[in-house]
Amino acid sequence: MTASKPGPGLSEPTTGRDTILFITATALLLVGAASSLSGGDGLATALWIAATVLGLSYSTVTIAVALRRRRPSVDVIAWLALVGALLVREPLAGAIIAVMLFTGGVLEARASARAARELGALAARAPRIARREGDGGLHEIPVSEVAVGDRLLVGAGEIVPVDGRLLESTSFDESALSGEPMPVERPAGDNVRSGVVNAGRPARMIATETADRSAYSGIVRLVEQAQASTAPFVRLADRFAVAFVPLTLAVAGLAWALSGDPVRAVAVLVVATPCPLLLAAPIAIMSGLSRASRHGVIIKGGAALEQLAAARVLLFDKTGTLTRGRPSISEVVTADGMDADELLRLAASLDQTSAHVLAAAIVTAARDRGIALAPASEVAERPGYGLQGRVDGREVRLGKAVWILADPPPAWVRRARRRAAVEGSLTVFAAVDGRPAGVFLLTDPLRADAPRMMRALRYAGIQRTVLITGDRADIAESVGRIVGTDAVYADRDPAEKLAIVEDEQATAPTIMVGDGVNDAPALAAAAVGVALAARGATASAEAADIVLTSDRIDGLADAIFIARRSHRIARRAAATGMALSAAAMALAAFGLLTPTLGAVLQEGIDVAAIAMALTVLLPGRTHTVVLPAADLAAARRLYVQHTALGPLIEQVRTVADGLTGSSADLKRLGELLDRLEADLLPHERAEEEQLLPIVARALGGPDPTGALSRTHTEIEHQVRRLRRCFEDIGDEPEPDELTDIRAGLYGLHAIMRLHNAQEEENAFSLI
């Protein structure tokens, strides 16, 4: 049995008090049993009566508090059983009931104290001090005074105070946010979140958020919200347990009336406890919440967990959900005479002083290519236009076309604009020493794990997937086809998103996934709103029922598995326990159980139901693939090479564009082929020998790497073919020869783009 849960406004019983009561009652029970076995029946009876009176006093207080709050209490059954045990001279039964009563109190108090302790620990480790670079060196300031754009130093072992962008590479312990125990290496230019610990060397960073808008403070608020909700099934258990009181009294009264023996009535009261409902169901639900948090999923209470278990339709936004949510450079188009790497070096050197999201993309691209940056001076921002400054004595401007270009635009600008329009790219134009020098094309790339996530969600039981976005229809349709959605709604504003969610919700329980402020109304309207808060707290995280704290959306599939398993075990534990209690009531009503035996049996039923509920904590079915440490290290090493080859792959198309007319740049073609043979082909062979066996071991099944192996072969064949064609042409190639080579380059580019997408989805998404 357990004491009634306090209502709103009541103070929870402290763990210490309940533990003392439990230890006292247990000691009285055990010492009394020892005295009885040694022949001291009088002392045993006195000790058992004392334990019974202690339990009776406790239940009287809890009932009085519940009545004052006008809340029903199932402790009435315990109170009547204790009184009955004294009246029919069954003090041993009364002592056992008292121990059962305090056991429930201890479990509840410990669960409440643990939740409070975890929240207190989370809040206690929140960063409070930051070290800011300024005139005269470093200055320690309160984290609340950090402003966007400040340069900060994070020492080894220190907690990152606010969200920012790294100026130097180092590794971080991100377990506080993601649950991932392994340190994560972050290169210069990468984003880093507050609350993670610098596990490497001291590193400088630029603040991109203030403290109150950074990731860690948002997660503390989210965990506070997660404490406040009770699952529908737990509320149903409370109501059912209260309804069980009159049924118990009726059965007890009938047993007494038919037999004339009040002992039978007491025995019925003893075994008629709804503990399997009052304890097993909440324990299973709370265990599910705990297990989900290990996968980087904060579920705001049991209600959200139960709704997640019932959901069948998934709706999601595109930007930041299926895509990375931050731009990256897809291509650098340069004016004649300007080298792409040199332009990127100048631009990134200037942009490293800026906290703008597009600046971060340019700096990251330069770091990925291994380009060393120079310090910038005389940096000034032109609001609404861009940034200007001097790098290595050269004047550099970055920004909008109207600030960089003169009319009419040259041919390379028209080509870049056509490509940007087709691919939905952003453009940042660059000028060097007052002359237009090039343009950076930036896109929001699809997450490598998005297609695998969609398959995992269908495997978890999602029957329908819907993409809702404010982006253009052609781009949305393309993304929808890649990830395999059932429906796509493009060009939708927040009100239209809300209407779509409400329509889908009318047919089946829905999940809405988003990460932007404009997603908040739709998240609130869905049965379950899921927000991605890996880059900080937003309105979407506040409106959502579930928050993914890591930057991986496939954790949602694991959360669905956990929710359904928790719900299933909660019902099974409660139903099994109550069925056994009902059977025990029947036995007691027919005189087949004494109060003492009934108390012992009921304690066993309670323990069995709780043990069944705790099985939620055991490992269950998930879609997560865990790689051995050696495989993980090898895959990460190959991924670094894979990323570094991105510019070379885009250069294939650029060289193909230049093979026109009499001015075809054959020298550049030869240099490209040299690089493909020296850099690309050895990497493809290394992937064939090292990466594909790792993927095969991780995924299993019949030939999971066949397609990847085939494209490795095709890439090498196409490079060899281009080399032969290049060697066969003379100094003045025929137009047909150039056409063949240009077609081969375009074909190679397409194959490599497809191959890289397959690798990122099926291989590198595992890390």
Catalytic center residues: 317
CA distances (Å), origin 554, targets 277, 559, 623, 704:
33, 9, 8, 20
Taken in order 78, 80, 86, 88, the sign of the CA dihedral is: negative
User: What is the distance between the alpha carbons of residues 425 and 448, in angstroms, rounded to a whole number?
Assistant: 19
Across the strands, what pairs with 386? 382, 399
Report yes or no: 416 and 441 within 8 Å, Cβ to Cβ: yes
For 67, counting Cβ atoms within 10 Å of its Cβ (0-12 exposed, 13-18 middle, 19+ buried), the class is: exposed
Structure tokens at 268: 């019925």
For 445, counting Cβ atoms within 10 Å of its Cβ (0-12 exposed, 13-18 middle, 19+ buried), the class is: middle
User: What is the distance between the alpha carbons of residues 79 and 411, in angstroms, rounded to a whole number?
Assistant: 90
Report yes or no: 428 and 350 within 8 Å, Cβ to Cβ: no
For 478, counting Cβ atoms within 10 Å of its Cβ (0-12 exposed, 13-18 middle, 19+ buried), the class is: middle
DSSP secondary structure string for all residues of 472-531: -HHHHHHHHHHHT-SEEE-S--HHHHHHHHHHHHTTS-EEEEE-SGGGHHHHHHSSEEEE
For 181, counting Cβ atoms within 10 Å of its Cβ (0-12 exposed, 13-18 middle, 19+ buried), the class is: exposed
Cβ count within 10 A of residue 7? 12
